[in-house]
Structure 1
Amino acid sequence: MGRIKLYTYTFAVIATVTLVAAIGVLRFYYTNACEALFKQKTESGQREIRELGILLEQQLHAGISSLKVIENLQQSIQNTDVQSEFVCMYNTNGIELCHPNPSLIGTKIDAKNSNFYHADNKQSFQELLKRGKLTSGIRTFPKGTNRSSEIVSVYPVRGTDWMLASHANVKVIQTQLDNLYQKFWIGTLLLVLIITEFVFCS
């Protein structure tokens, strides 16, 4: 019995130490993956609206009317999926000029609509649009709206009061990361069992 207890104790110690080490490593990589993915989403959003903004500027420079340019943009983004990522356009007064959901065109963003966080600065999303500058950050909504936070980048179209905006749903991104984390967690448990058994049986 003494030998069985010793084996059991040894197995438990090896498994615990291996599991704790694996959890630490897994958490480290998960945190880094979160930061890398959020950074990638921010950069891709900036790049998308910058390229789109340059295209709009070129159309205006070519003599196409502003109404036609807005119409062309609306046609290109209409009915795109707004659950994960999408592009829309406001003016500096906070009025929606283009949106994948046409019913939202013409609505105005007021000061209570949402807040925008950039670095250590907090302001209303309305104030951000009014400033008319290239910015990226996190947009949050009041609890009662049942809307998820977004990674948002805005780009001012030169020669106009237009503000292109890219939106990426934080909840969708977090769900993707959580699913990936669960898969890694299962793989880690299996690896711990294999390592423990190998060490124990050696």
Structure 2
Amino acid sequence: MKKDKLYFLTFLSIAVIFLMVALIASQYFIKVSANQLIEVQVESSKREANEIAKLIDFQLLSGIKKEEIVTNIQRIIENSNTDSWFISIFNWGGKEVAHPDKTKVGQLVNSNQTLLSSLKEKNNSDDLYDLLMGKTNNSSSEIIHISPIKKSDLIVAANVNMNSIKQQMSALKVNFYLIFLIMGTLVIGLSFVAVRVIGSAYEKQLELKNSTLTSEVVNLSKLNTDLVSYKEKVAEKPIESTVDEPIEKEKKRLLTYIRNELVSIPIEEIAFIYTENTITYVVCFDGKKSTTNMSLDDMSANLNSSLFFRANRQFIIGITAIDKIIKYGNSQLKILLQSKTSEEIIISKNKAAEFKQWLNM
């Protein structure tokens, strides 16, 4: 998958997830905020209606006539603001006797009794939004609380302007959606940038590792290629000794022991030589093992250096016995042999360069 397509799918996934979460969260936050706003206004209106009812009751007890009290109340509330919450007074017959809109005085109260009953029963603020916004009649205002006046047929009512409430709720929704839009743009944008930055850093690390691995594979491949080439050269003609090397160092055969029997082994049949518990063993390609009285140092000094290599303190290996060279550990090499033996020979980091130079001889 191309990187641009991957980044696009990542961006699309983040956007879809945020959109789903925002749709659910926005509805919840809108309702909670609306409930709190409505609750504050409802409680304020209730308190105002109760205070006016107490005032009228006190005036009646003081001997002031009802008509005079109603006239004074009408004068006070007339032309007051009805854009949100307001107070009115009606009698038991359901007629308005005092209202901010004077034209409605004498008219029957037009309000949803079911809503009023529901508001009385449900005091939980979580229900106010559903009760007010879920009403179905077309009245511009609704009575949300009544406070009857003792020893009188008057009732003080707290009213709410439904159009104003709906406008407030619409503005609240717009504000919330705007906030979520800005927040979503920032979250999605920053998340996308973070994914790009992290992805680029990770890709650089992978490319570096792949480059290192490729280089190591190429080096190993070259070593194995050099090994095959050298084997072919050895098969075509015997390696001649250099002028500086004494001929007596190039042994043709090696005298070894198998128990009490003396065995002379041709040099070309030796796969590798190793030492264990101070005993030097000579292993042939057919897996036969014999011993010799010579140490590895003596063997290394007397064997043809073009054909045999001192891999480490324990092993001397023949060029024709090497089957495969594998990278091992931290810049080490592991040599797999063709002989019928399970021995694995490790060439240290310090010896690896010398071994590579030996293969290129």
Question: Normalising to structure 2: TM-score of the pair?
Answer: 0.46
Match for residue 191 of structure 1?
Answer: 183
| Distance in 2 separating the partners of 1:157 and 1:21 | 51
Structure 1 pair 189–66 and aligned structure 2 pair: CA distance change class (3 A): same
Which of 142, 152, 157 is equivalent to 1:165? 157
Return the alpha-carbon distance in structure 1 between the equivalents of residues 3 and 171 of structure 2.
Answer: 42
Correspondence 1:115 to 2:112:
yes
Q: State the match for 2:85 in structure 1.
A: 85
Secondary structure of residue in 1 paired with 2:79: coil
Distance 1:114 1:164 in 2: 14
Conserved? CA contact 1:90–1:162, under 8 Å: yes
Q: Percent identity?
A: 28
Opposite residue 40 of structure 2, the aligned amino acid is Q
Runs of 4 or more above 3 Å deviation = 140-143
**Count of aligned residue pairs for this structure pair:** 180
- Counterparts of 2:111 and 2:172 in 1: how far apart (Å)? 30
Question: Can you give the 5+ residue segments of structure 1 that lack an aligned partner in the other structure?
Answer: 122-136
User: 1:141 Cα deviation (Å)?
Assistant: 7.7
Residue deviations 1:49-107, cap 9 Å, x none? 00011111111122211111111111110111233222111110112111112222222
Partner of 1:175: 167
TM alignment of 1:1-202, pairs within 5 A: 2-109=2-109, 113-117=110-114, 118-119=117-118, 143=138, 147-148=139-140, 150-202=142-194
Higher RCO (C-alpha under 8 Å, 6+ residues apart): 1
Cα displacement (A) at 1:161: 0.6
Cα distance between partner residues in 2 of 1:101 and 1:156 = 21
Counterpart of 1:163 in 2: which secondary structure? strand
Distance in 2 of aligned mates of 1:93 and 1:194: 60
Per-residue deviation, 1:13: 0.4
Q: Which residue type is aligned with residue 60 of structure 1?
A: L
* CA deviation string 1:4-51 (max 9, x = no partner): 111111001011112221222221111112223333332222111000
Contact 1:50 1:155 in 2 (8 A): yes
Q: Which one is further off, 68-77 or 151-160?
A: 151-160
Q: Is the 8 A contact 1:19 1:189 kept in 2?
A: no
Describe the SS at the equivalent of 1:83.
coil
SS at match of 2:155: strand
Partner of 2:113, secondary structure, is strand
Report the AA paired with residue 164 of structure 1.
Answer: V
Conservation of the 8 A alpha-carbon contact between 2:147 and 2:156: yes
Report the equivalent of 2:230: none
**One-letter identity of the residue aligned with 1:34:** A
Q: TM-score, normalised by structure 1?
A: 0.79
> Does the 8 Å CA contact 1:115/1:141 hold for their aligned counterparts?
no
Separation (CA, whole Å) in 2 of partners of 1:154 and 1:120: 11
In the superposition, relative to structure 1, how do residues 166 and 159 fare at CA in structure 2: closer, same or farther (>3 Å)?
Answer: same
Q: Give SS of 1:178's match.
A: helix
1:60 and 1:11 mapped to 2: Cα distance? 72
- Residue 198 of structure 1 and its aligned partner are, at CA, apart by 1.3
Task: Give, in whole Å, the separation in 1 of the partners of 2:171 and 2:24.
Answer: 18
Larger Rg belongs to: 2
Amino acid across the alignment from 1:165: A
Report the structure, 1 or 2, having the larger helix content. Answer: 1
